[in-house]
Amino acid sequence: MEKKLDDRYYELLRTLQEADFVLIELTLYLDTHPNDLQAIQQFNQMAVHRRQIACEYESEYGPLLQYGLSFSRYPWDWINTPWPWQV
């Protein structure tokens, strides 16, 4: 049974996308500035923030990742949320 999506779903998804963007940009920066302690601290803080948001998303809407990177509830709920291209 597919869950009805609400504003919270889109808010969490947007927050995850924003965090991913920041992490990608910091990764690219750190590839060329590996000794920038402040950037490393920002990266680690954002990684913790992203993990918290992902956990919150998954507890409300189901797994984000496949192949054992996210847990599933019972019954199998991977199919309950839209695929990325459906949003």
What distance in Å separates the CA atoms of residue 77 and residue 41, rounded to the nearest whole number?
35
Q: Is residue 87 part of a domain?
A: no
**DSSP labels for 55-72?**
HHHHHHH--S--TTSS--
Among 19, 25, 27, 28, CA closest to 64: 19
- Mean pLDDT over residues 16-37, rounded? 95
Q: Biggest alpha carbon distance in the chain?
A: 50
Q: Is residue 2 part of a domain?
A: no
Full residue range of the structural domain in which residue 18 is found: 7-82
pLDDT at residue 3 in the model:
56
Q: Is residue 20 part of a domain?
A: yes
Q: How many domains does the chain have?
A: 1
- DSSP code for 2: P
What distance in Å separates the CA atoms of residue 58 and residue 52, rounded to the nearest whole number?
10
pLDDT at residue 38 in the model:
96
Asked whether the predicted pLDDT for residue 31 surpasses 70, the reply is yes
Q: Is residue 46 part of a domain?
A: yes
Q: Is residue 61 part of a domain?
A: yes
